[in-house]
Amino acid sequence: MNIGKLYKVKKWSWLLFPTKETADAADDAAAGARHADAYAVYWSKRFNCDVSYFSLDSIVVFLEEDGVFKKVLTSDGRIGWIWWFDESCKDCFEEVETE
């Protein structure tokens, strides 16, 4: 992933946490969630914060990387952190060509 580039989500929905700490506490359920809407509600209640998600075909920009965590800006203006499985997740995103 290149920081500052646009990407289209090709696989899964991704939970978006307000901090790296909440993403870390949610562990591997945080990435690739099949029922992202239900997981977002669950983790929001558990951590008393706003956990959201972005879905297949969304456009995102990676803003920062810190180990297994990626800071993301979504096309609808939400910013947060995702927990990344590993490098095999690279095929979940496709760089969008811009002119």
pLDDT at 24: 86
Domains of the chain: 6-95 (2.30.30)
Q: At 76, is the pLDDT very low, low, confident or very high (cuts 50, 70, 90)? A: very high
**Confidence grade of residue 49 (pLDDT, cut at 50, 70, 90):** very high
Element (H, E) at 64: strand 59-66
Angstrom distance (rounded) from CA 47 to CA 98: 37
Above 80 in pLDDT, residue 88? no
Output DSSP code: residue 50: -
Q: Is the pLDDT of residue 94 over 60?
A: yes
